[in-house]
Amino acid sequence: MTTYASFAAAVGNTPLLRLRHASEATGCEILGKAEFLNPGGSVKDRTALGLLEDAERQGLLRPGATLVEGTAGNTGIGLALLGASRGYRTLVVMPDTQSREKIDALHVAGAQVRLVPVVPFTDPGHYARTARRLAEEMNATDPGSAWFANQFDNTANRDWHEAHTGREIWEQTSGQIDGFVCAAGTGGTIAGVGRALKRHRPDIRIALADPAGSIFARYVQTGELVGEGSSISEGIGNSRITANFEGAPIDVAYSIPDDESVPVLHDLLRREGYCVGGSSGVNVAGALRLARELGPGHTIVTVLCDGGMRYQAKLFNPDFLRSKGIPVPTWLDEAFPAAADR
């Protein structure tokens, strides 16, 4: 009998799923790392665990302390659940544009949630800056009472993915991997996994899949800090270069528009039964592009970051999708006939 002693012990070691339709369409083996099977429901359980374990090793957390983070949601969910299992409280600062489903999940997980307007990172009211300020204020009143996780610039994030996620992918593929494709928000996953895989075989292609509006793809391609357009994807893309992203060993970068990525995630659900979020659609769209560049016979791994029901009101809402100019599949209209009739 196999058992796990705690929430933390169940994080990671997720399976690789063969994406049948994408594989057959390209002649490559396209595999998705099923991160939605982590106990908190997303790849960010790994980030939360890496940050928390590093802080505990450094003695930065006292019993009953408050974990403070600025997040689009999933890192906060991971921290709240890990915190509950270890006796910590959690305070999350979140942009008010994020899905209602994630906000509700944070409340259910026991986090205190503060929603703030979306502003540039240079603005003191930015969600990450607000989280840092709140932690500093708590510590000024009661030293040691709060810890700011700082997922974007705390490189314990990248280091954990290098030591664990990258190692898992190498072992699961028995080293038979030609490419890895991933979006970036903090940059921890693509930088950490990329470093781990390149250490084994420098010729493995590391590809960034970036949503429209983010600066990462243009930065990799030209060095310019410019983003164009916008995306409904949550938790990926950025307007600045983070400490975790800096130096990531990326060979190629794709800018993926919503009208390319969202149909991919709809197909994953309808054809293969995988209900995944917007970042997964971006990732698989990127994997399809890389497969076509490399040609048949290659093995490409990407990340299925979280479940689609955390974004149901956007990704599976015909009216919302039409308002953004995103194609609506017939089956989705049939699932919500009232929306189609309006």
Residue 198 annotated to the active site: no
49: left (phi over 0), alpha (psi -120 to 50) or beta: alpha
Catalytic residue among 44, 198, 314, 324: 44
74-86 vs 44-57: helix crossing angle, rounded to 10: 50
Of 45, 46, 33, 37, nearest to 304 (Cα)? 33
Q: Are 22 and 287 in contact (CB under 8 A)?
A: yes
Paired sense of beta strands 16-18 and 29-34, if any: antiparallel
Phi-psi category of residue 159: left, alpha or beta, with phi > 0 → left and psi -120 to 50 → alpha: alpha
* Cα–Cα distance, 86 to 84 (Å, whole number): 5
Q: Is 260 helix (H, G, I), strand (E, B) or coil?
A: helix
Count the alpha carbons within 13 Å of 172 in the hemisphere toward its beta carbon. 21
- CB contact at 8 A, 26 and 279: no
Q: Report in angstroms the alpha-carbon separations of 71 from 17, 50, 165, 195.
A: 28, 16, 21, 24
Number of neighbours of residue 85 by Cβ within 10 angstroms? 13
Q: Could you please report the per-residue DSSP string of 5-16?
A: SSTGGGSS-PPE
Residues designated catalytic? 44
